[in-house]
């Protein structure tokens, strides 16, 4: 694992956990998360009413429309969500939180619905993002809106957010204070995620224009970092805070856990920008288009880091073609190669390393010494493994 995950010059300590043991542990937790996913968002029409309707709106057993209602809810809500959930997502967000709950002495299985709800929150955001971006492929499958249509995809993706409320009811039905904290975490993640998506939808083209013209990437890098933190860092931070809430962690530890979650989520998104340049595959098959960010005229971290590293006579035409969406074929491959060769990709890796390193230094002394190292190793696996995709 160390060879695949730590590039030359990395500032991160090498993982100590046996790679096979760590991956086995991840697979085991992910399987339990999938079990709770099936309970929270069931695939059968018979269970759809209980999953999606408030308690006061559940049809009585003798109500003749009950079977019809269940089938319709399953088709319009459960099926679109499960189309993407069943496409072998990495489950790293709930796995990281589950491992943290265990480390802090809590019961991950009892909190399983919350872990599943975290994955469904992410799934819902992907469904909506794909509609807004017009993406044709996600996790190697046609996107949800391609299969079910944009109106159904948008409604189902948004509905997935609120399965968190059902998970809270299932795990802490009589603990109003703790339930309130958990609901607040959901709202914070949604608020941040929508702000990040607003920035992403607008793009950072004007700031990139100014950066290319002036040779200073400061503003555009700051905005791309913020967008990544809002969209990916805050939800991961909320998952780590959830682990703190359910285990009754002290305020200082809760704050450090949130910072670590934010670092992992943001670093993962930076790694995703790097992986996008080469194309993301699973079992040898592409899971989305190669260099999709460049195709879509999107300012990614490697592109922003290229300012000041790629000479302007080469950066100007590259950025113009990215901006107008004219890159394709061999030109697209060459553009990705230029970002690699000029050191922009290395700068992204160094930034992701630094985020993890600094957050871990803050968190590590507050954790129980026994068993804390696998949490760090798992974070490295998540981020470096994405770059190695």
* Domains by residue range for the chain, with CATH: 91-111+162-387 (1.10.600.10)
* DSSP type of residue 368: -
Closest CA to 360 of 389, 385, 383: 383
Contact partners, residue 14, CB within 8 Å, separation at least 6: 2, 6
> What does each of the 389 residues of the chain score in pLDDT, given as a tens digit?
333 345 555 667 777 778 888 889 899 999 999 999 999 999 999 899 999 999 888 887 667 888 899 999 999 999 999 999 998 777 999 999 999 999 999 999 999 999 999 999 999 999 999 999 898 989 889 999 999 999 999 999 999 999 999 999 999 999 999 999 999 999 999 999 999 999 999 999 999 999 999 999 999 999 999 999 999 999 999 999 999 999 999 999 999 999 999 999 999 999 999 999 877 666 566 666 778 889 888 999 999 999 999 999 999 999 999 999 888 888 888 999 999 999 999 999 999 999 999 999 999 999 998 889 889 999 998 887 765 44
Contact partners, residue 24, CB within 8 Å, separation at least 6: none
* DSSP type of residue 57: G
Closest CA to 134 of 335, 289, 286, 285: 289
Phi-psi region of 102 (alpha: psi -120 to 50; beta: other; left: phi over 0): alpha
pLDDT at residue 389, rounded to an integer: 40
Structure-block tokens of residue 267: 């670093």
Q: Is 164 exposed, middle or buried (0-12, 13-18, 19+ CB in 10 A)?
A: buried
CA–CA distance, 55 with 384 (Å, rounded to integer): 44
């Amino acid at each position: 694992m160390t060879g695949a995950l730590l590039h030359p010059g990395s500032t991160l300590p090498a993982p100590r956990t046996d790679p096979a043991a760590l991956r086995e542990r991840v697979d085991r937790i992910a399987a339990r998360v999938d079990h709770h996913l099936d309970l929270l968002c069931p695939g059968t029409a018979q269970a759809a009413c209980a999953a999606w309707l408030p308690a006061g709106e559940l049809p009585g057993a003798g109500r003749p429309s009950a079977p019809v209602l269940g089938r319709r809810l399953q088709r319009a809500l459960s099926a679109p969500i499960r189309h993407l959930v069943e496409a072998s997502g990495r489950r790293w967000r709930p796995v990281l939180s589950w491992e943290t709950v265990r480390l802090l002495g809590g019961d991950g299985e009892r909190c399983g619905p919350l872990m599943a709800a975290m994955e469904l929150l992410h799934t819902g955001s992907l469904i909506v993002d794909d509609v807004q971006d017009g993406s044709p492929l996600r996790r190697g499958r046609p996107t949800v809106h391609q299969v079910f249509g944009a109106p159904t995809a948008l409604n189902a993706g948004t509905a997935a957010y609120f399965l968190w409320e059902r998970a809270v009811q299932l795990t802490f039905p009589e603990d109003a204070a703790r339930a309130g904290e958990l609901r607040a975490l959901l709202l914070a993640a949604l608020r941040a995620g929508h702000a990040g998506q607003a920035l992403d939808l607008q793009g950072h083209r004007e700031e990139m224009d100014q950066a290319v013209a002036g040779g200073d990437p400061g503003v555009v890098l700051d905005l791309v970092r913020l967008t990544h933190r809002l969209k990916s860092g805050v939800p991961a931070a909320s998952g780590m805070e959830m682990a703190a809430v359910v285990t009754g962690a002290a305020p200082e530890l809760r704050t450090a856990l949130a910072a670590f979650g934010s670092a992992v989520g943001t670093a993962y998104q930076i790694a995703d920008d790097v992986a996008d340049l080469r194309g993301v595959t699973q079992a040898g098959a592409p899971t989305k288009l190669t260099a999709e960010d460049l195709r879509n005229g999107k300012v990614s971290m490697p592109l922003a880091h290229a300012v000041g590293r790629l000479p302007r006579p080469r950066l100007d035409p590259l950025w113009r073609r990215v901006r107008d969406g004219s890159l394709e074929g061999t030109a697209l491959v060459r553009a990705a190669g230029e970002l690699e060769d000029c050191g922009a990709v290395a700068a992204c890796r160094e930034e992701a390393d630094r985020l993890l390193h600094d957050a871990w230094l803050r968190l590590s002394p507050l954790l129980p010494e026994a068993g804390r190292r696998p949490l760090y190793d798992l974070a490295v696996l998540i981020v470096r493994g994405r770059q190695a995709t």
